[in-house]
Amino acid sequence: MISRKRPFVIAHRGACGYLPEHTLAAKALAYGMRADFLEQDLVATRDDQVIVSHDIHLDRVTDVARRFPERVREDGRYYARDLDLAEIRSLTVSERVNADGSAVFPGRFPIETGNFRVHTFKEELLFVRGLNRATGREVGVYPEIKAPSWHHTEGVDLATLTLEILDEFGYRSRDDKVFVQCFDWRETRRLRGELGTQLPLIQLIADSSWRESDTDYAYLLSDKGLRAMSEVVDGIGPWINQLVDVQAIDGCPVSTGVVARAHAAGLAVHPYTFRSDALPKGFGSFDELLAFFLEELGVAGIFTDFPDLAVQFIHQQFSGESSKM
């Protein structure tokens, strides 16, 4: 058993390994599984309401194409920005599907089962506040400002709306149990600079092929980029495949060195996404994956679809202090 600060568990879109992502049911389950933080991906509606949904598109997780077929854009997608909150509330949320309608994770909650709904960021913060009061725990929130540049082209400042809501709910200082995350380096700097937030910030690191933003992620992972980030953010949220390589000779996973270099720059590391039903190459079990990242690499926290499994592993392997920011 390891005796050092216990790493924390971030419920990625809630306990979405068991229930449809970003539903309040998935968040309640993650809370009951004793996750340390609940994640909220944020996008804006046509009437500038901030909702909790992973994408600016709605068609892969709701029945929007059936309910509002006329709202399709030229690219064939349905955008949250094209519907008012009242219209979005009428949609049914389901397990995420591919373009052909098949489940992204076939072994998870059945598609088109249940009566799940989209909710607002304010509603989720009220939900977390209520659970914290009822249980005496202090579970944190971990909002992501999605596609800020795109939102700007749509005439909405999602970062400002997000900070205003957080302030309304008392999240104002570095000591509050919150992290604000973003893939767009320009917007992350704006959060700290122009918008003046003191909240802990996490710079997410994507693979450039995903086209999350025009950010040069290879630069951010260089020593120079890590030093630049250390002047602005508290940590980084890299894709797990950026932190591990598999040796060609024996197939064993080895560190790419990113975590050590980030730590040397004073940055915490919160990698994503840990899934027991989608293990990276080189790992034979979920516990093996967790052991490599939490024990060998020493990351501070992890995003996972299966918070119960991560909490159980950490409880068994770590002693000493409770998890802290």
- Report the catalytic residues: 12, 54
Residues 6+ apart with CB under 8 A from 122: 50, 165, 168, 169
How many CA atoms, within 13 angstroms, populate the side-chain half-sphere of residue 158? 30
Residues 6 or more apart whose Cβ sits within 8 Å of residue 83: 45, 46, 58, 64, 68, 71
First to last CA, the chain: 21
Distance between CA atoms of 321 and 275, rounded to whole angstroms? 26
Using CB atoms within 10 Å of the CB of residue 83, give its burial: 0 to 12 exposed, 13 to 18 middle, 19+ buried. Answer: buried
- Contact 277/105 with Cβ under 8 angstroms? yes
Give the tokens for residue 283. Answer: 């790992």
Asked if 20 contacts 116 with a C-beta cutoff of 8 angstroms, the reply is yes
Cβ pair 44, 82 in contact under 8 A = no
Label residue 147 left, alpha or beta by phi (over 0 means left) and psi (-120 to 50 means alpha).
left
Whole-number Å distance between alpha carbons of 142 and 182: 11
